[in-house]
Structure 1
Amino acid sequence: MTGTSLLWLRQDIRLHDQPALIAAAHEGAVVPVYVLDDEAPGRWRIGGAQRWWLHHSLVSLAASLEAKGSRLILRRGSAVEALRKLAEETGASTIHAIRHYEPWWVKAEDALGDRLTLHDGNHLASLRDITTGSGGQYKVYSAFWRALNERMPPPDDQPVPHTISSPDIWPKSDKLSDWDLLPAKPDWAKGFSADWIPGEAEALRKADDFVDEVVDYEARRDLPDVEGTSRLSPHLHFGEISPATVWHKLDRGRNADKFRKEMAWRDFAASLMLQFPHYGYRNGRPAWDAMAWRRSEHDLKAWQQGRTGYPIVDAGMRQLWATGWMHNRVRMITASFLVKHLLIDWRAGERWFWDTLIDADYGNNSVNWQWVAGTGVDSNMWGRIMAPLVQSEKFDAGGYIREWVPELADIPDPWIHDPDAAGCRPDGYPPKIIGHREARERALAAGRAIR
């Protein structure tokens, strides 16, 4: 026992498999602290949907700490300044934290210097150690996965410490309600609670349920009309469950390789942030800086509101607004539509997803948008233009469309995928904002122009 330590929590809001907590508890008294820092991230301060989740996640964490005889200290402002002040108030000589890879957190970690002790725990491995033969970092996912897989399995997940010692005097804490993380009236997030329960307990339960179904994952994951995905993305983003815990739970399931590779994609995205800190707003391939993107507030708003006349696109965008989440296959379809059908800069889509997704992650959001747009260092070819009407029929999205686009609820398959062409589009549903063939030819021409 060496005295009091601060436990700095960010996107690691859990007690189970929490290496920073374990180290702090071993040293003596622990002061867990979450700092709402809107300064360091700048334009990447957490968006509206994430704030809803954060509020409820912190409520859950505070209750778990209280059950252990501890408590959660809340502060707002610069994380670096708040932690320095808390260290002075409590006499803490050490700050324990899990390593993060977002550029603003890397900068904050550097600023805290020697008093900060970092631990790995939010990814399957330490990403700085996944290097090429020459010591560089990977820019292609397939090579990254091979190198990462050689280090698997990750370390065994660790249980919650039996005891979390408290300081003699607790420092003052903000009130969570004063942070105004929840929407004011009208409550645009009122539908979130029907789909989501933030917190560590729900993350662990959901992971157990998913493992029981993982045998069907590869066959069902692309079908938006069935519950075929893990729905773990927001829990992983907020660190309510560690990737190691999920990895080891998968051991008792079958056919888990596909999901493990998707967890590795999350690590790959974070590793690209180490190499390209500005990936969220700079093209990975500079040649694409010359792209003549269209500026159309009308078309952008139609996409945001799910009023494009393409049912699968509109269903996805409406699901996103209502629930803070969108099916992964539909994310690709809607992103491709914005970038290639409407020729609108991928950064406009990134901004919208950042504010409306509960699982918006700097690495994943940036890398996935640049993959779809063809502007990333490892990305799809520009000429691969998703045909939303074909995708809708191929992945049997009729029921999904009926759920999220009620104007089309009475249209039977196969016409629901393209009611405009079938001549059965109801008056309350808009015509296509642009024809698929016209959009494709325009996109290919724009791509040729920058080559």
Structure 2
Amino acid sequence: MEHRAAHGMPDRMSDPVILWFRQDLRLADQAALAAAVQEGPVIPVYVLDDQAPRQWKVGGASRWWLHHSLKSLDENLREKGSRLILRQGNCIDQIVQIAEETGARRVHALHHYEPWWRNAEKALVKRLELCLHDGALLLPPGAVRTGEGNSYRIYTPFARAVMEHMPPAEPVRAPSRIDAPGRWPKSDSLDRWGLSPTKPDWARAFSRDWTPGEAGARANVAAFLDQVADYDRARNLPSLEGSSRLSPHLHFGEVSPAYVWRRVAGAPGDATTFLKELIWRDYAHTQIWAMPAYGSENARPAFDAMPWRDLREAGADFKAWKTGRTGYPIVDAGMRQLWTTGWMHNRVRMIAASFLIKHLLIDWRHGARWFWDTLVDASYANNSVNWQWVAGSGVDANIFSRIMAPLTQSGKFDAADYIRAWVPELAHLNDDIIHDPEAHDARPSDYPAKCIGHREGRERALAAWRGIRP
């Protein structure tokens, strides 16, 4: 679907058009690109705008990914006879300036639903002709509605409604060539943006785990196809490589969700569980579309009265959580994996988030901000909705009183080898002891004691929750 705001058609079909890249850094199944190449010369543009998102500017780990993804995109464009123009600053001002430099009057872009992008689209349409296309999600927000015509708030009926529209349309191939304009506007140097850290290079291990870019995304999809049949079981086991690891590729739009759906649905085995997770991604974006402040405000107002611990009191506990020094091996393994690789196993994300919110009684927003800065797949929609789901403050959330027991979860999901990989102080312990060495009087001297007991943390959390229940 195309959404067009008209400011008059270009005088000649040879006038260049601007292709505005954001979180859609691919050439295949890119509706904005497909439309742009039909009109004449194309000026592909990416603007690094840290002003519009304000506190939600691209986080540290995601900036590393962005650097490599933009580099890959430029290489792919050059193979098609084009190139990527880079600008930094206010995205509207920069795009208008490029239009003035080149004579372009029309912009093609995929529609995005983060509040700052929606505001930017509204501002740009007042100055240039903007053609917005679908393709960032399986279905755009509002495409499915309740019987009363409202946006869905509960995931399960939302998923059923989306399923009725699946499979998505067949993905479109990348164009064989992209016509270049008569003159190129000036471009920044990617290296000068300093997106990838150097001194110190805290992301040095990222490249061992990740290959950003469209080719890397498609390679990950292909590798995952052999795992689909066992995905429902393996995805919950941190010690196995059972997850798809596609989240950063999807977040940066290096591969379309339609392409992923089509490939995975056609793989041997039952892909239902994974496909529902693709739908959850759509669900999360629907929530931020309906409630733009989902990343900073409780969706359930009752949680505004939750007596969270002030970080002046809880600062040491928060630091222990961030650095993987809580004394709970499964939590510490996850937090260390996050810092080292920019990613954390999904089951462990839930355990670590629950521990911060409930055992430590620290506001979910502090955890969400840490994840925003340290995840390579830091999506405003997914991050916000997932944290509020764990906290119980979301519109469709786990009830607060359901408190994950990290030690039980660690044993249930066979996390022993995962702990050994990320908490080397405990690598010598056997499977019966490693989940809770303190309880077996086997805690090494270089591994911290528990920052709080499970029962103590649980009782404190439940007392706080009872105080806000209606």
TM-score greater than 0.5 by the shorter chain: yes
- Identity percentage of aligned residues: 61
TM-fit CA distance, 1:134:
2.1
Match of 2:165 in 1: 151
Match of 1:87 in 2: 99
Range with bigger deviation, 233-242 or 243-252: 243-252
- The amino acid across from 2:359 in the alignment is H
1:3 match: secondary structure: coil
- The amino acid across from 1:375 in the alignment is S
1:344 corresponds to 2:362: yes
Q: Specify which of 289, 296, 304 is matched with residue 289 of structure 1.
A: 304
Q: Specify which of 244, 248, 259 is matched with residue 262 of structure 2.
A: 248
User: Structure 2 length normalisation: TM-score?
Assistant: 0.95
CA distance, structure 2, for counterparts of residue 98 and residue 256 of structure 1: 27
TM-fit CA distance, 1:135:
1.9
- The amino acid across from 2:364 in the alignment is W
1:449 corresponds to 2:449: no
TM-fit CA distance, 1:405:
0.3
Range with bigger deviation, 99-108 or 84-93: 84-93
CA distance, structure 2, for counterparts of residue 358 and residue 208 of structure 1: 20
TM-fit CA distance, 1:133:
2.0
Match of 1:236 in 2: 250
In the TM superposition, structure 1's runs of 4+ consecutive aligned residues that sit over 4 Å from their partners are none
TM-fit CA distance, 1:2:
5.1
2:42 match: secondary structure: strand
Q: Deviations over 1:376-404 (max 9, x none)?
A: 11100011000000000000000000010
- The amino acid across from 2:324 in the alignment is G
1:211 corresponds to 2:225: yes
Q: Output the aligned Cα RMSD.
A: 0.8
1:111 corresponds to 2:129: no
Match of 1:221 in 2: 235
Q: Deviations over 1:231-255 (max 9, x none)?
A: 0000000000000000110132121
TM-fit CA distance, 1:207:
0.3
Q: How is 1:4-15 mapped onto 2 (pairs within 5 angstroms)?
A: 4-15=16-27
CA distance, structure 1, for counterparts of residue 54 and residue 68 of structure 2: 23
Q: How is 1:39-118 mapped onto 2 (pairs within 5 angstroms)?
A: 39-113=51-125, 115-118=129-132
Q: Specify which of 435, 438, 451 is matched with residue 453 of structure 2.
A: 435
- The amino acid across from 2:356 in the alignment is L
- The amino acid across from 1:8 in the alignment is W
Match of 1:26 in 2: 38
- The amino acid across from 1:154 in the alignment is P
CA distance, structure 1, for counterparts of residue 337 and residue 150 of structure 2: 40
CA distance, structure 1, for counterparts of residue 138 and residue 266 of structure 2: 18
1:161 match: secondary structure: coil
Q: Deviations over 1:279-302 (max 9, x none)?
A: 101000001100000121100000
Q: How is 1:197-208 mapped onto 2 (pairs within 5 angstroms)?
A: 197-208=211-222
Q: How is 1:131-142 mapped onto 2 (pairs within 5 angstroms)?
A: 131-142=145-156
TM-fit CA distance, 1:130:
1.8
Match of 2:442 in 1: 424
1:127 match: secondary structure: coil
Matched residue count: 451
- The amino acid across from 2:132 in the alignment is L
